[in-house]
A and B are shown apart, each in its own frame.
Chain A
Amino acid sequence: MTLGLLNAAAILCYLISVGGYLGLLLGRRPAFGRLATGSLLLGMAVHFLALVHRSTVTGGVPYKDFYGSASLFAWMIALVCLLLELRHKQKAMSLFLVTIAVVLQITSAILQNIPVGARAGVAGWLFAFHVNVTMFAYAAYAISFIASMMYLIQYGRLRARRPGGWLSLLPSLDLLERVNLTSAAIGVVALSTGILTGAIWARTAWQDTPLHWDAKITWSLLTLIIYTLYIIVQKRKGWRGPRSALVAVGGFLVVVFSYTVVNLYFSKSHTFF
């Protein structure tokens, strides 16, 4: 009951925030932007309470059901969106990010079923950290993806000599490139930390069973490689610009594949994150 209420309140705040960002884009009044960021903050606070409440009920971080995982992902996206606004002082991308967050959160709230009782062996702060930091990395990659797509659209428009229309509200190529780089770098650091803490935790938690290689690890390593490649090439000869943006897009496709198909069908120990 409490969880339903908290989720609903968070969704309401996020929807107001989306409305605000939309108003900012169309009406260009700064008050809309303040409203949007304000309700985003409020939504995140309520959402945080919902997440805490959920993990006390289930006795752990969401890793074995999609709905908790989606909700955590939504919160992480909101968080990275907020960091982005602070770092680059612009809100043009927030509309898309908060929309993604609210869709995830609605899906999660509608479909949730909460398994009660802690599972043995997956508790502890290290495990919680492992899950959270990995989700944070996914959120950073989502931003890198949106920045890449916006970059490609903007690049295409400018090259085609059609600078008018509402798309002229898109940020500059330079800014999108910098946002992309920042979020990819944050994603690489966070995902490496995630993989590392996962490995450490697995060693201590599963001492008696022999370690096994999980498919998720392969795909996470691939993700890491692609984004590291992006960071390396994005200022290199012949790769600067749209080509490196495509690399970042490819990276995100791997992330999506890893979060959905790999979780569902290939992985044994990473059901839902």
Chain B
Amino acid sequence: MSTLVVGLNHLTAPIELRERVTFSVETNREAITRLSAEGTLREAVIVSTCNRSEIYGVGDGEEHTLSAVRNFVCDFHGLDPRQVDGCFYHHADSAAVRHLFRVASSLDSMVLGEPHILGQVRDAFLLALESRTTGLILNQLFQKAGHVGKRVRAETEIGLRPVSVSSVAVDLASKIFGRLGQCSVLVVGAGEMSELTLESLIKRGVRQVTITNRSFDRAQALAERHGGRAIHWQHFIGILTTEDIVISSVQSDRHILLREAVEKSMIDRDHRPLFLIDLGLPRNIDPETREVYNVFLYNLDDLQSAADSNKEERRKDLPKAERIIEEEVEKFLRWQARLHLEPVVKRLRHKIDHIRQSELDDHLRKLDRLTDRERRIITALSHAIVNKILHEPTVRLKSSLDEQTLQTVRRLFDLDGEE
């Protein structure tokens, strides 16, 4: 029996295909139940996110099982198997274990170090657990995967620094203001990026959101969506005295915020720190404003270059993460080998003991004038010989834990014939 994975991800399959091969909670449950009921796989878990769909299972690692799984996926989603040729990858045994550990640690993700995949892997496992399609192997494998994911995040810096414009902005805000619970945000104009940034700030618990736009109606719509208040365009300079963070993204040829205006409001706000985020192209805020005491001004380029250099930083820790994963793959394989070993040793002992017992019975029948004591001694003799002979091979098997040796023992003693 081997652990295997069949799947496709953002590197092997185009988005059109990935979209068709996703599994919702319901279809996931249906698919894993069918896979294990039909006997294709002994155990099954499906991990499905927007960037990947992967079927993990326990079955024989032969080509026909892998293609059976592949065909099942095509059949399930109504795809022609020839259409998807080359989009699927598959791994077995140690490669499959390593693959899941890399996925759980986000090493296989589009954004290295992204935090959601670990939860998605866990949810997939819990769903399978609940549907009773997992067993000894996948239970252990997925629990280990969760552990590996956490270890990699804790011991390396691949998830540490923010790598998107909005998360860099939020990170900076928390470096200036500490906890954001006391901060208020002003959004000037509305673009996709400023809305993303606002959402991240709201998630971190900012106290108050104010929105302004040249069109008051749009400001109001946005304010309603995010639980803030809308103000008229001509008032926004006036409320700089009370805001802590300003996100600006307006289509304008001229600067909408000048140094003098900021200087004036800094006096009114007792020089409390002011964080200006200029996401406009061309820029909305006069770069001179940067010189004003206790003002922090970042434009789109600043945030983008910080995000880029953080991405580089994350990549630096890749070798460390890979080392952790190798270590854990090794551990898992040892666990699995021990699992295979025990039945072999048990069967070997059982078989030899069976031979001993039947030979002993045969011969004792022939020696019918023995006293009880003599019978006991002969029985003990048979036990002693068997134990002495089996001792060394058992110890060696346990210390080697090597699949090849196990196979040899099985074949030598013809152990697979008996259950």
Contact = CB atoms under 8 A, between A and B. Distances in A.
A102 interface: no
Nearest to B312: A164
Given A158-B176, A163-B172, 9 more contacts: A29-B154, A158-B172, A163-B168, A164-B306, A164-B309, A164-B310, A175-B178, A237-B270, A237-B271
Nearest to A172: B178
Given A158-B172, A163-B175, A241-B293, A173 B273 contact: yes
A237 B267 contact: yes
A174 interface: yes
A154 interface: yes
Contacts of A154: 175
Closest 10 interchain pairs by CB? A174-B178, A172-B178, A161-B302, A240-B271, A241-B294, A164-B309, A175-B178, A172-B175, A163-B306, A237-B270
7 contacts: A154-B175, A158-B172, A159-B296, A164-B161, A235-B270, A239-B271, A241-B273
- Range class of the B interface residue count: 20 to 34
A238 B293 contact: yes
Interface in A150-165: 154, 158-159, 161, 163-164
- Range class of the A interface residue count: 20 to 34
A174 B177 contact: yes
Contact of A158 (B157, B296, B309, B310): B296
Contacts of A164: 161, 306, 309-310, 313
A241 B172 contact: no
Contacts of A238: 271, 293
A236 to B, nearest CB: 7
A172 B244 CA distance: 15
Interface string B155-173: 1010011000000100110
A168 B161 CA distance: 9
Contacts of B296: 158-159
A117 interface: no
Nearest to A159: B296
A140 B274 CA distance: 30
Interface string A167-187: 010101111001000000000
Interface of A: 27-29, 154, 158-159, 161, 163-164, 168, 170, 172-175, 178, 235-243
- For A154, A163, A235, the residue with the greatest tally of chain B CB atoms inside 10 Å of its CB is A163
B174 interface: yes
A250 to B, nearest CB: 19
B272 interface: yes
Interface of B is mostly: helix
Interface of B: 154-155, 157, 160-161, 168, 171-172, 174-179, 267, 270-273, 290, 293-294, 296, 298, 302, 306, 309-310, 313
Contacts of B176: 158, 172-174
A161 B298 contact: yes
A1 B168 CA distance: 56
Contact of B270 (A168, A172, A240): A240
B272 A240 contact: yes
A27 B155 contact: yes
A236 B270 CA distance: 7
A163 B172 CA distance: 8
A241 B175 contact: no
A240 B155 contact: no
- For A173, A175, A178, the residue with the greatest tally of chain B CB atoms inside 10 Å of its CB is A173
Contacts of B177: 172-174
A173 B175 contact: yes
A232 B51 CA distance: 56
Contacts of B310: 164
A178 B182 CA distance: 15
A69 to B, nearest CB: 36
A28 to B, nearest CB: 7
Nearest to B270: A237
A33 to B, nearest CB: 13
Nearest to B268: A237
Given A159-B290, A240-B294, A172 B271 contact: no
A235 B302 CA distance: 30
Nearest to B307: A164
Contacts of A235: 270
B162 to A, nearest CB: 9
A163 B294 CA distance: 16
A243 B168 CA distance: 27
A239 B176 CA distance: 17
A159 B295 CA distance: 8
Nearest to A170: B175
A175 B182 CA distance: 13
A168 B168 CA distance: 12
Given A163-B306, A173-B175, A28 B154 contact: yes
